[in-house]
A and B are shown apart, each in its own frame.
Chain A
C-alpha cells in the first residue's frame, strides 16, 4: 500500500498544527513564518506556509503520516498535492473566526470531490470561548447542502478530542 496519510485542513488558527502535535509521536515538523494577511496577524503571530508533518507508527511498522495544510487561501495549490491518496480528511473550523460557516463552506467546496469519494470529519474549535455560531447552525448548513459528515466541538489541544475525530473518520470510511 502506498503512503498512509491523514490530512488536517482548515483556516489559519483553527488548530491544525496543535491537533497534529496532540497525537504525533514525533515532534511536529512545520514551517512557520510571520503571518502577512491582517486577519491572521490579529489571531496569531506565525502561520504555516507549507505544511505540518507528524506521524504515528502502526503495529506492523507502517507509518501513519499526518499532514496539516497551509491555512491561507494563497497556498491552496498545496491542498491538492497533499490530499492526493489520503485516507481521509479532517476539517478544523475556528468558531471564534469572523465567518466560521463561510470557512467551512470554502473547505468543503475545495475538497468536494475528495469528500464525495473518500470521507471527512469536521471539528469545530474554540466553541468554549466563542459559542456562536451554535453547533445546530453547522448541522443546518450541512443539511442544506445535503452533506452528511460527522461534526462536533473539539479542543485541538486535547488528544482525546483528536482521537475521537479520527475514530469518527475511520468509522465513516468503514461503515459510512
Chain B
C-alpha cells in the first residue's frame, strides 16, 4: 500500500487536531496510508484565513493544494468543505491517492482535477475514471498563462468558421452541440448562478481530449428533441469554458499591470456567474484599474478576478489600457454598506 503525506496551512488548532484524529480513525477506509507530516507536498489550506488566502494566491507550483472552506469560492479543483466530516475526507484522500498514483510527479502548475463532495456522503466524481493530463501551460518568462485555444473555446471558434454542426463530448459528461449558423449551442440545462460539476470536465479538459463529431442539422434536431436540450448563445459556452479552465491563470499575452475596464455589462441572464462576479462587473464597468487593484477594492480573491477577466476577454467585453490614474475611491459609509448587505440577505443573496 502506498504511503502519502499531508499537511495543513493556516488551520485553526482544533481543525488540525480533528484532522489528525479522523485520519487515524479512518485508515481502514483509505486505499493508501496517510500521515500528517510537515514535509508533505499535499497541503490542505484554510482559504478563509488571511494567511491561507495569501498562500493560495501565491502557491508554489510544486504543491498539490486543497482548498478548505465553508464554500468553494475559488472553484478549486481540490476542495474540502468546512467543517471536516468523515466521508468527504475519506473520498478526498482516496481521490488524491488515485491521482498521485497516476501522476506521481506533481505537474508544473496547480493540479487540475475536479472533485466535489456532498454532505450526503454521495460523491460526484467529475474526474473521469481514466485520468487525463491537464492542458500544458503556456509559459512566458516566469508566468503560466491561460491559453483559450487549448480548450473548448478553440474548437468552437474553428467550428464556427467552418459552419459545420458539431457535437463536442468528453467521457460521460453531457455533450455540447454547436449550430454555427445561429451562433448557438445546445446542451443540458446550465445553471446561471453556479457551475454544474457534471459539465465541468468538458469545459476544463484540453481540446485534444474532446471528441468532435459532425452532424447534419436533422441529426441535431433529433438530439435536441430526444435529450430535451436547451439552447444557449455561443457566448455562454465560451464564457463558462474560460471561467472553469482559467483556474486563476491570466489569459495569454495579458500582464497583471495592464489596466482594464468593461465595455458593457455582462449579460448574466445567459452567463453563469458567482455573486462576486456581479460586484466585479459593477466596479469594472465604471472604473479602470489593474487586476490586483480590482481584487483589493472589491475584496475578491485575485484568482476569481483573473477568471472573470479572462471570461470577459474571451467574449470581447473588456478594454485594456496601459497605466492610468488609480480609480477614485467611492465614499460609502459603513451604515450604507450594512444596508446593502441587509438588502441582499433579505433577497437570499
Judge whether A170 and B268 touch: CB under 8 Å.
Answer: no
Q: A7-15, A89-97, A141-149: which lies at the B interface?
A: A141-149
Judge whether B346 and A58 touch: CB under 8 Å.
Answer: yes
Say whether A105 faces chain B, with CB atoms less than 8 Å apart.
Answer: no
A6 CB to closest chain B CB (Å) equals 9
Say whether B123 faces chain A, with CB atoms less than 8 Å apart.
Answer: no
B-contacting residues, A28-43, CB 8 Å: none
Q: A46-54, A71-79, A160-168: which lies at the B interface?
A: A160-168
Judge whether A167 and B281 touch: CB under 8 Å.
Answer: no
A-contacting residues, B252-305, CB 8 Å: 262-265, 267-269, 275, 278-279, 281-283, 285-287, 297-298
Which chain B residues lie closer than 8 Å to A142 at the CB level? 264
Evaluate whether A171 and B282 lie within 8 angstroms (CB atoms) in the complex, with A59-B346, A163-B347 already known: yes
Judge whether A153 and B267 touch: CB under 8 Å.
Answer: yes
| Chain A residue nearest in CB terms to B267 | A152
Q: B53-61, B237-245, B334-342: which lies at the A interface?
A: B334-342
Judge whether B267 and A168 touch: CB under 8 Å.
Answer: no
Evaluate whether A175 and B265 lie within 8 angstroms (CB atoms) in the complex, with A56-B346, A150-B285, A163-B348 already known: no
Complex formed: what's the CA distance from A174 to B343 in Å?
12
| Chain B residue nearest in CB terms to A142 | B264
Which chain B residues lie closer than 8 Å to A149 at the CB level? 265, 285
Evaluate whether A143 and B268 lie within 8 angstroms (CB atoms) in the complex, with A148-B285, A163-B348, A167-B344 already known: no
Judge whether B346 and A168 touch: CB under 8 Å.
Answer: no
A-contacting residues, B303-349, CB 8 Å: 330, 332, 335-337, 339-340, 342-349
Size range of the interface on A?
35 or more
Complex formed: what's the CA distance from A5 to B287 in Å?
26
Complex formed: what's the CA distance from A161 to B330 in Å?
27
Which chain B residues lie closer than 8 Å to A176 at the CB level? 282-283, 285-287, 330
Which chain B residues lie closer than 8 Å to A170 at the CB level? 340, 343-344
Say whether A82 faces chain B, with CB atoms less than 8 Å apart.
Answer: no
Judge whether A58 and B343 touch: CB under 8 Å.
Answer: yes
Evaluate whether A59 and B339 lie within 8 angstroms (CB atoms) in the complex, with A164-B268, A168-B278 already known: no
Evaluate whether A174 and B335 lie within 8 angstroms (CB atoms) in the complex, with A139-B264, A143-B264, A152-B265 already known: no
| Chain A residue nearest in CB terms to B348 | A163
Say whether A101 faces chain B, with CB atoms less than 8 Å apart.
Answer: no
| Chain B residue nearest in CB terms to A23 | B347
A44 CB to closest chain B CB (Å) equals 24
| Chain B residue nearest in CB terms to A58 | B342
B-contacting residues, A57-74, CB 8 Å: 57-60, 62, 64
Which chain B residues lie closer than 8 Å to A139 at the CB level? 263-265
Which chain A residues lie closer than 8 Å to B264 at the CB level? 139, 142-143, 151
| Chain B residue nearest in CB terms to A25 | B346
Say whether A154 faces chain B, with CB atoms less than 8 Å apart.
Answer: yes
Judge whether A64 and B282 touch: CB under 8 Å.
Answer: no
Selected contact of A167 from candidates B265, B298, B335, B349, CB within 8 Å = B349
| Chain B residue nearest in CB terms to A151 | B265
B272 CB to closest chain A CB (Å) equals 13
Judge whether B282 and A174 touch: CB under 8 Å.
Answer: yes
B291 CB to closest chain A CB (Å) equals 15
Evaluate whether A173 and B268 lie within 8 angstroms (CB atoms) in the complex, with A150-B282, A167-B347 already known: no
Complex formed: what's the CA distance from A153 to B266 in Å?
11
Judge whether B275 and A167 touch: CB under 8 Å.
Answer: yes
B331 CB to closest chain A CB (Å) equals 11
Say whether A108 faces chain B, with CB atoms less than 8 Å apart.
Answer: no
Which chain A residues lie closer than 8 Å to B279 at the CB level? 171, 174-175
Which chain A residues lie closer than 8 Å to B335 at the CB level? 1
Complex formed: what's the CA distance from A57 to B265 in Å?
29
Evaluate whether A175 and B269 lie within 8 angstroms (CB atoms) in the complex, with A58-B346, A59-B342, A139-B264 already known: no
Say whether A4 faces chain B, with CB atoms less than 8 Å apart.
Answer: yes
Complex formed: what's the CA distance from A1 to B339 in Å?
10
Which chain A residues lie closer than 8 Å to B337 at the CB level? 174
Judge whether A168 and B345 touch: CB under 8 Å.
Answer: no
Judge whether B267 and A64 touch: CB under 8 Å.
Answer: no
A75 CB to closest chain B CB (Å) equals 27
Which chain B residues lie closer than 8 Å to A57 at the CB level? 346
Question: What 6 new A-B contacts, CB under 8 Å, besides A166-B343, A168-B278, A170-B343?
Answer: A56-B347, A59-B346, A87-B339, A164-B278, A173-B336, A174-B282
21 CB contacts below 8 A, A to B, read A4-B339, A23-B347, A58-B339, A59-B345, A60-B342, A64-B343, A64-B346, A139-B265, A143-B264, A152-B269, A154-B269, A161-B269, A163-B348, A164-B268, A167-B278, A171-B278, A174-B282, A174-B332, A174-B340, A175-B298, A175-B330
Spell out B's residues near A (CB within 8 Å). Answer: 262-265, 267-269, 275, 278-279, 281-283, 285-287, 297-298, 330, 332, 335-337, 339-340, 342-349
